[in-house]
Amino acid sequence: MDTNAVIAYISGVRALLSQYFEYILAGAGVTLALTVSSVGIGLVFGTLIALGRLSRFPVLRYAASAYITFFRGTPLLVQLLLVYMGLPFLLGTSIERWPAAIAALSMNSAAYIAEIVRAGIQSIERGQREAGLAIGLRPRQVMTLIILPQAFRRIIPPLGNEFIAMLKDSSLVSVIALEELLRRSQIVVTRTFRPVEVYGLTALLYLLMTSVIAHLVGRIERRLSVEGYGVVDKAGKQSRTAAISANPS
């Protein structure tokens, strides 16, 4: 390959970066902000919906099931368009991009998190609940003081997955003109006509963010792990003591 061509290419890419890197990076900030707020809100509502699914009252159970069925069973893209393009016609008033995006993303996230939390709650041994009741705690206290704290420790890995999935799915809000990472990259491509470099950079930035999240989730998991109670030990390996204590023979 011609050295002059290589030099020209490198200087072209440098010009591209100096002109647009900050612009694209700011889009990554928007992506992160969208993800953190949506998963945060989703975690609160998802937990409530999970409790609804496990409720003694059939009305709550059916309502929670219906919610999960709808939001898990329809594409996030459709939900976004329904909220941003559809809802204004029903309400007769406009909705800004940010509230529309966070509403759609967090409602969607809540459905997935509800199932994660429900599985976590149901994974706690029945004896825990019985013991709590036996020492005189009310059912609500048993849930908030004994079951939920243990359940949350167990569901950190799937919650981390949900966070990573949401970070990637948040790119869909580009269809409602919110300028997150992907939309900003698309805008740059329509100006520079360099999809390889721009989308390559975009992919790297997504990868960087998901890797950092995966690392953080791993650290939290290790910090919250309890010796002898499964999950992982400090080295991040499956705890052997847990396996032994579960099978005393």
Partner 1 sequence: MKKMVAFIKPLSFVLLCLLCLAVGSGQAWAQQVLKVGSDITYPPFEFIDDKTKEPTGFDMDLIRAIGKVMGVQVQIINTAWDGIIPGLITGNYDVIISAMTITDERAAAISFSDPYFSTGQVIAVRKGSKGISEPAHLKGKRVGVQIGTTGHFAAEKVQGAMILTFQTMPEAFLALKAGQVDAVVADEMVAIEEMAANPGQTEIVGEPFTVEYYGIAVKKGRTDLLKKINLALAQLKVDGTYDAIYQKWFGVK
Q: Are 52 and 63 in contact (CB under 8 A)?
A: yes
Helix/strand/coil for 232: strand
Number of residues in contact with partner 1 under rule CB under 8 A: 22
Note whether 138 binds partner 1 by CB under 8 A.
no
Tell me the C-alpha distance between 102 and 98, whole Å: 6
Of residues 2, 193, 235, 248, which one binds partner 1 by CB under 8 A?
A: 193
Closer to partner 1 by CB, 94 or 247: give it: 94
Burial class from Cβ neighbours inside 10 Å (0-12, 13-18, 19+) for residue 35 reads buried
Residue 88 binding partner 1, by CB under 8 A = yes
Q: Would you give the binding string for partner 1 spanning residues 141-180, x where CB under 8 A is met?
A: ---------------------------------xx-x-x-
* Distance, CA of 12 to CA of 81 (rounded, Å): 38
Token output for 219? 């650290």
What's the distance, CA 153 to chain centroid?
16
Q: Does 187 bind partner 1 (CB under 8 A)?
A: yes
Is there a contact between 41 and 111 (Cβ–Cβ < 8 Å)? no
- Give least dist CB 177 to partner 1, A: 4
∠ CA 155-120-209, nearest 5°, is 20
Using CB under 8 A as the binding rule, whether residue 97 contacts partner 1 is answered as: yes
Contacting residue, 46, 159, 183, 213, with partner 1 by CB under 8 A: 183
Provide, rounded to whole angstroms, the least separation between the CB of residue 13 and partner 1.
Answer: 15
Q: Give the interface with partner 1 as residue ranges (CB under 8 A).
A: 84-86, 88-89, 93-95, 97, 174-175, 177, 179, 183, 186-187, 189-191, 193-195
